[in-house]
Amino acid sequence: MLPASLLQAAADTYGTPLYTYDLAELDAALGRVRAAFGDARVYYAMKANPNLTLLRHLHARGVGFDCVSLGEVSRAEHVGARGEHIVINGPAKSAGEYEAGARLGATFIVDREEEVALLPAGARALVRVNPALDISTHDHLATGSTASKFGVTLEQAPRVLQALRDAGHVALGLHVHIGSAIRDAQDFTAAYARLEALRPHTGPLAVLDAGGGWGLGADLPGIAREARKAADVFGAELWVEPGRYLVALSGTLLTRVIGTKRTGRNFCLVDAGMTELIRPMMYGAEHPVTALWDRPAGEGETWDVAGPACESGDILARNQPLADPQRGDLIAVGEAGAYGASMSSPYLTRSRPAEALWDGQAWQLIRRRETPQDLWAAEE
Ligand SMILES: Cc1ncc(COP(=O)(O)O)c(C=O)c1O
């Protein structure tokens, strides 16, 4: 995390709630990915954080984009990505997504056999395989389990590859993405092993896309070794699609204390909550909470950090050992660069927060705070 004085300065300048990003952390994460995965092609899953400044930074470093909506494809196009720098994922793509993908020469990740007939003529495509495993992550984050809606079965995969060829498309190979925030490398090993078993039925392939999903503490070199081994089995080039791993650590959500309340539990009420960071409520995610003030703590006293929304579930973190929080104090919620700002919502007509980037020299506002007028503009 950046020094408290820098974070204080950003909050004073831009107000709170505020998403801040440290460019050096983003570069460090990209460096770790490239060190582990060597010459694998990296497609950043922009759903994790689609801010244009971050996209431009990654695009300039040769990173492509994994897009899952027309809006995301439009962002990729807007920052200059084309052709081999765009893959389009999703279980139910719209006509607009096929059209944009065709126009830009993107690669489509086919999610069901029926999709073959919907692809634009001569499309480059990968077939997403669901390895049907028990994945060690939150149920809502598992995409490689039988209960998940994603991908074709192992049995269907060779047939879908053949259907692509028969329809005149370019069947590049296979894709697997088993979920998100996965820390246990065994899950990836098991998924790749199931794919490797398809080799006699598929023959050699041009590409194996090993997806993303790496949790922050994951053994990246270990996962990379297994992914490379699987690609080699097919004689394929390796592609990966990290989202969280690239941006999570670079981001910190700054929020100010509005007040406190003691009702049997101690509540520290802050100006950010579920509308700014929904992960604690949606996935039970635990983000590190740091008090950016210096005051003696009450003996053993802990606080539930609660947001301002009129929703009981609007709790950012429970049982935090905050030292006598006071109105105006600043709290930093860490590991918030992924699925933080991108999942923030205008629920309750709350304006989505501003975002600021520390480039090593200065703060730069990379998204202004929305105004109420922004939120109702489409209704006038
Ligand atoms: C197809 C696909 N690829 C990559 C990702 C990125 O996952 P993560 O941010 O966990 O790396 C996702 C996330 O849901 C995804 O659906």
Residue 272 CA to ligand 1 center (angstroms) comes to: 25
Which residues carry out catalysis? Answer: 310
- Provide CB contacts within 8 A for 115, sequence distance 6+: 93, 108
pLDDT at position 120 over 90: yes
Q: pLDDT at position 77, please?
A: 98
pLDDT class for 138, splitting at 50, 70, 90?
A: confident
Q: Region 99-128: what's the mean pLDDT? A: 98
* CB distance 340 to ligand 1 below 6 Å: no
* CB distance 89 to ligand 1 below 6 Å: yes
pLDDT at position 144 over 80: no
Domain boundary among 226, 246, 266: 246
Q: pLDDT at position 211, please?
A: 97
Atom of ligand 1 nearest to the CA of 143: 16
* CB distance 128 to ligand 1 below 6 Å: no
**Is 211 annotated as belonging to a binding site?**
no
CATH classification at residue 165 = 3.20.20.10
pLDDT class for 183, splitting at 50, 70, 90?
A: confident
Atom of ligand 1 nearest to the CA of 212: 11
Q: pLDDT at position 7, please?
A: 98
Question: Closest Cα partner for 50 from 338, 369, 364?
Answer: 338
Q: How far apart are CA 108 and CA 130, in angstroms?
A: 16
pLDDT at position 135 over 80: no
Are residues 317 and 350 both part of a single domain?
A: yes
Are residues 223 and 320 both part of a single domain?
A: no
Please check whether residue 380 lies inside any domain of the structure. no
Are residues 309 and 362 both part of a single domain?
A: yes
DSSP 8-state symbol, 134: -
Are residues 168 and 98 both part of a single domain?
A: yes
Q: Region 313-341: what's the mean pLDDT? A: 97
Domain boundary among 246, 280, 312: 246
Residue 211 CA to ligand 1 center (angstroms) comes to: 7
Q: pLDDT at position 322, please?
A: 95
pLDDT class for 137, splitting at 50, 70, 90?
A: confident
Domain boundary among 211, 246, 281: 246
**Is 300 annotated as belonging to a binding site?**
no
User: Over the Cα atoms of the chain, what is R_g?
Assistant: 22
Q: Region 223-243: what's the mean pLDDT? A: 97
Ligand 1: residue of 32, 66, 279, 283 to mutate (most ligand atoms within 8 A of CB) is 66
Enclosing domain of residue 363: 4-20+248-370
pLDDT at position 231 over 90: yes
What tens digit of pLDDT does each residue of 53-74 get?
A: 999 999 999 999 999 999 999 9
- For residue 17, cis peptide bond before it (omega within 30 degrees of 0): yes
**Is 32 annotated as belonging to a binding site?**
no
* CB distance 66 to ligand 1 below 6 Å: yes
Q: Give one DSSP letter per residue of 267-336, joined into a string.
A: EEEES--TTT--HHHHH-----EEE-S--PPPTT--EEEE-SSS-TT-EEEEEE--SS--TT-EEEE-S-
Q: pLDDT at position 147, please?
A: 81
Q: pLDDT at position 142, please?
A: 73
Sequence-ordered alpha helix ranges (H) in 203-248: 220-233, 244-247
pLDDT at position 139 over 80: no
* CB distance 45 to ligand 1 below 6 Å: yes
- Provide CB contacts within 8 A for 126, sequence distance 6+: 87, 107, 108, 109, 110, 172, 173, 174, 175, 207, 209
Percent of the chain surpassing pLDDT 90: 91
CATH classification at residue 10 = 2.40.37.10
Q: If you average pLDDT over every residue of the chain, what do you get?
A: 96
Domain count, the chain: 2
Q: Region 127-145: what's the mean pLDDT? A: 82
Are residues 240 and 256 both part of a single domain?
A: no
Are residues 125 and 157 both part of a single domain?
A: yes
CB 208 within 8 A of CB 174: yes
Hey, what are 24's tokens? 């050096």
Q: Using DSSP, how many helices (H) and how many strands (E) does the chain show?
A: 12, 17
pLDDT class for 140, splitting at 50, 70, 90?
A: confident
Are residues 59 and 33 both part of a single domain?
A: yes
**Is 339 annotated as belonging to a binding site?**
yes
pLDDT at position 151 over 90: yes
**Is 213 annotated as belonging to a binding site?**
yes
Q: Region 336-350: what's the mean pLDDT? A: 98
What tens digit of pLDDT does each residue of 24-55 get?
A: 999 999 999 999 999 999 999 999 999 999 99
Residue 287 CA to ligand 1 center (angstroms) comes to: 19
pLDDT at position 380 over 80: yes
Q: pLDDT at position 259, please?
A: 98
What tens digit of pLDDT does each residue of 263-310 get?
A: 999 999 999 999 999 999 999 999 999 999 998 877 789 999 999 999
Are residues 55 and 167 both part of a single domain?
A: yes
Are residues 293 and 206 both part of a single domain?
A: no
* CB distance 194 to ligand 1 below 6 Å: no
